Structures are given as structure tokens and as C-alpha cells.
Structure 1
Amino acid sequence: MEWREEAIVLGVRRLGETSVVAEVMTRARGRHLGLVRGGRSRKQQPVLQPGNSVAVHWRARLDEHMGAFVLEPLELRAARLMESGVGLNGVQLVAAHLRLLAERDPHARLYDGLQIIVDHLDRPELVAELMLRFEIALLEELGFGLDLERCAATGQRDDLAYVSPRTGRAVSRDAGAPWHDKLLTLPAFLADAATASDAESLAAGYRLTGYFLGRHVYEPRGIDVPDARAGFLSALRKIGVAA
């Protein structure tokens, strides 16, 4: 069994004296693990850094085996990503998000989102919104998508201001007014593509996705929120991108 595909490195772990197990994300084959012989060598270590794009050749005797990777560099971003807290925490956070998915399940939409994020991690003003939209897409891929297009109570599409913490559906300002203290804030830029995000609305957006990730993903699985999420948001706050 074998295949070849482009991938983005998510992480590695040591195996023996000279080898590593590499974790990559591919478009057609999802998150995939493979043995890299000699992965701890001076030649391979720069290639196997999270955020790098590589050409992968995977081979195994049977499809269900972990198999072995031969990796060739395509784009080495790691040195640039490590220059800032946003970049360093951002690449760790998006990798942690992808580990919530079953191994080898294809998620082409998330792979495309990952590609855009790693290309823009040195631009905090862009990646702040990109990562938030990635979290929304992740919830959808996990089966917990939010309905932010129309009011759950009236069906209207304009003046959406809240999200029900119970259903994940949007609620208009008027319909939600009597219960506004029990509803989550829906940032205007998530409901209206013509509205730009700012520090306050981004912070509200991350509170929104954080709530549903906690409720539907972290708490049921008995796992903690990744430290990289707090680190990423803290790095954004330090430079004034998020409140």
C-alpha cells in the first residue's frame, strides 16, 4: 500500500534513538501518522517542524498499519512562525483543534483553512479572524454546527445579535431582548459579511466558540482546553488585536 500527497506538519514524537513518528494533515486522507526513519537527524529536523508544508510518500504492507513516511520539504515556515507569540501559539492551537478529529478522516475544508492560517500567522490582524472562523468550521465538522444565518424565533436574517447557548442558533435583537442576559453575544461581523471585525467583536467571537467547544467537545471527552488557545488569545490581546 502506498500514496503520495502534499501535507502540513502538525507535530512529531520521538521513537527510538534516531526515528520519529510524524503527524501531518492532508487534504484527501485527513490527519495521518507515519514513521520517519532518521527523523532526528540534522537534515530532517528542520523539515519536521509544525507548520511546514511537505510532500509525503507513505508506504505500508497493509492499509491499517501506521506505515512509514518519506518527507520532502515544500515550504518551510517554522522559523517565521516562531518569531511571535501569535505564530507559535497559533500553529500549536490549530494542530490541537485538528487532533479532535478521527485519524485518517478526510476534512478538505479544514485542510484548506489550515493552509490559509499557516500562510498568515505572521499577520495577526488577519489570523485572528481566520482562526475564529476555523473554530466555527471545526464545530460544524464535528457535528455541532452553529446556525448564524437567521433568527431562531422569527426567521429574520437582519439585526441578529445573540446566539442561544442551548441550540446554537442565532436570535435577533428584538426577539432576544427579554432574555439578553442569558444569551451569548453574536458579533456583527459573523452575521453580516459587510461588517468588519474589531478587538471587542473578536473577543466576543472567541467567547462564543469557546462556549460551544467546551460544551460539546472538551467536557464530554473529559479533556482540557488546549493551553495554546489561552496563549494565542493572550498574544492577540498584547498587540491590541483582540480585547
Structure 2
Amino acid sequence: MEWIDSGYILGVRRHGESSVILEAMTRDHGRHLGMVRGGRSRTLQPVLQPGNEVQLTWRARIEGHLGHFAVEGLTLHAARFLSSRQALFAMTHVAALVRLLPERDPHPGLHEALGHLVEVLGEPDLAPALIARFELEVLSDLGFGLDLATCAVTGRQDDLIYVSPKSGRAVCREAGAPWHDRLLRLPAFLRGEDGMPAAGDIADALRLTQYFLERDVFAPRGLAMPEGRRVLLESLVTGQEKG
């Protein structure tokens, strides 16, 4: 069997003396693993870094086998990450989210969103909002999408500023006022409204997605939210890197 696809590298692990097992998020074949012979060579190591966009040729005798990858670099984003702790934390976190998806299950929309995200990792004015949106897409693709289109109480489509932590549905200002201290904040940019989100909106967005990721995704699997995400949140909302 053989296919050719583009993808973004999520990570590698050593296999034998000179090879590696490569994990990538591909456009048409989802999260996929394969062996790369000679993957620890000086030629391939710079290519096989998390965040890089590559062309992959996968070959195996039968579909269920691990198979082998031939790799060609397309856009080597990872070189930009080396000088930014924020970008490294972000890429590690994003890769951990993608690993929650079933292997070999195509998610073309998430693949596209990942492509947009890796292009701006390390840019504090752009990355935070895309990370929050990416987390929303992960929740949706895992079957836990939030309903941010209409108010859960009134059916209104305007002035939606809260999200119910119980139902994951939006709540308008008027209906949510009596219970505002029990509701999660819904930043306008998560609903597609124009304008550059402020640091407080970024923090609210990441707290919103974290709540549902912890409740619906990590906790049922017996997993804790990665510590790296906390550090990432701190650095993103302050616009400073922690040294």
C-alpha cells in the first residue's frame, strides 16, 4: 500500500540506532505514524522537528502495519520556535491536543487550522486567539462542541457574553445577569466578531476552553491538563516569556 499526503510533524521518538517513529497530522489520513529510516541523520533531523510542514510518502504491506515514511520538507517552521519558549510550549500543547484524536481518522478542518496556527506561533499578537479557536475545534471534533450561536435561555443571537458551564451553550447578558458569577465569560472574538482581542479576552477564552477540555476530555481519560498549558496561558496573556 502507498499514499502521498502533506502534514505537520507532531513529534518523533527513537527507534533502533538510526531510525525514528514519526507522528504527523496529515490532511487526508489524519494523525498517522510511520518509521523513518535514517531519521536521526544530520540531513533529516532539522526536517523532523515538531511544527514543520512536510510531504509524506507512506508505504506498508498491509493497511494495519506501522509502515515507513519517506519525508520531504515543505515549510520548516520549527526553526522559528527555537528562540521562543512561548512557541515551544504552544507547539507541545497543540501536539498533545491532536494526539487525543483517533489515529488515522481524517480531520481536514483541524489540519487546516493547525496550518494557520503554526505559521504564527511565537507571535504574541496573533497566536493566542488562534490557540483558543483551535481548542474549540478540537472539542468539536471530539464530539464536545460548544453552541455559541444562540442564547440557551431566550434564543437570542445578540449580546451573547456568557457560556453555561453545564450545557456548553451561550447565554445573553440579560438572561445571565442573575447568575453571572456562575457562568463562563464568552469573548466576542470566539463568535467571529471583528477586532483585536485584549489580553483579558484571551485569558477568558483560554479559561473557557480549559474548563471543557478538563471536564469532557482529560478527566474522563484519567489525564491531567498538561502543566505546560498553564505556563503557556501565563506567557500569552502577559505577552512576556518566562525565563
Q: Which residue of 1 aligns with 2:239?
A: 239
Match of residue 68 from structure 1 = 68
TM-score, normalisation: structure 2: 0.95
Report the alpha carbon displacement of residue 194 of structure 1 after superposing the two structures with TM.
2.9
SS in 2 for 1:234: helix
Kindly provide the CA deviation profile for residues 96-126 of structure 1, in whole angstroms up to 9, marking residues without a partner as x. 1100100000000110011001111132211
Q: Distance between the aligned counterparts of 1:192 and 1:118, measured in 2?
A: 20
| Cα distance in structure 2, aligned partners of 1:50 and 1:186 | 31
Letter in 2 for 1:150: T
* Residue in 1 that maps onto 2:19: 19
What SS class does the counterpart of residue 39 from structure 2 fall into? coil
Residue pairs, 1:41-60, within 5 angstroms = 41-60=41-60
Q: 1:154 is aligned with what amino acid?
A: T
My pick for the range that moved more, 78-87 or 183-192, is 183-192
Query: Is 1:103–2:111 an aligned residue pair?
Result: no
Q: Is the 8 A contact 2:202 2:237 kept in 1?
A: no
Q: Deviations over 1:26-64 (max 9, x none)?
A: 010000000011111111111111011111110000001
Quick one: distance in 2 between partners of 1:192 and 1:42? 44
Q: Secondary structure at the match of 2:125?
A: helix
The structure 1 segments of at least 4 consecutive aligned residues displaced by more than 4 Å after TM superposition are none
Q: Tell me if the contact between 2:8 and 2:52 (Cα under 8 Å) persists in the aligned partners.
A: yes
Q: Distance in 1 between matches of 2:9 and 2:214?
A: 26
> Could you tell me how far apart the structure 2 residues matched to 1:131 and 1:2 are?
33
Comparing 230-239 and 196-205, the one that deviates more: 230-239
Correspondences of 1:204-243 after superposition (within 5 Å)? 204-239=204-239
1:126 corresponding residue in structure 2: 126
Question: In the TM superposition, what whole-angstrom CA distance separates every residue of 1:157-206 from its partner, at most 9, and x where no partner exists?
Answer: 11111111110000111111111111111112223513431100110011
Rounded to whole Å, the distance in 1 between the matches of 2:172 and 2:200 is 19
Quick one: structure 1 residues 203 and 238, their matched pair in 2 at CA, closer, same or farther if it must change by over 3 Å? closer
Offset of residue 233 of structure 1:
1.5
Counterpart of 2:36 in structure 1 is: 36
Partner of 2:203: 203
Q: Structure 2: which 5+ residue stretches go unaligned?
A: none
In 2: Cα distance, 1:22 partner to 1:170 partner:
40
Deviation at 1:7, TM superposition (A): 1.2
1:78 is aligned to 78
SS at match of 1:125: coil
Offset of residue 20 of structure 1: 0.6
Contact 1:199 1:240 in 2 (8 A): no
Give the share of equivalent positions with the same residue, in percent.
53
> Partner letter of residue 237 of structure 1?
V
Number of the residue aligned with 1:89 = 89
| C-alpha distance in structure 2 between counterparts of 1:12 and 1:133, whole Å | 26
- The answer to whether the Cα contact below 8 Å between 1:85 and 1:231 also exists between their aligned partners in 2 is no
Alpha-carbon spacing, 1:110–1:217, altered in 2? closer, same or farther (3 Å)? same
* Structure 2 equivalent of residue 136 of structure 1: 136
Asked whether the equivalents of residues 89 and 229 of structure 2 are also in contact (C-alpha less than 8 Å), the reply is yes
- Give the secondary-structure state (helix, strand or coil) at the position aligned to 1:38: coil
| Unmatched tracts of structure 1, length 5 or more | none
User: Match of 2:126, SS?
Assistant: helix
Which residue in the other structure is 2:193 paired with? 193
Q: How does 1:151-162 map to 2 (within 5 A)?
A: 151-162=151-162
Contact 2:31 2:106 in 1 (8 A): yes
- Which residue type is aligned with residue 11 of structure 2? G
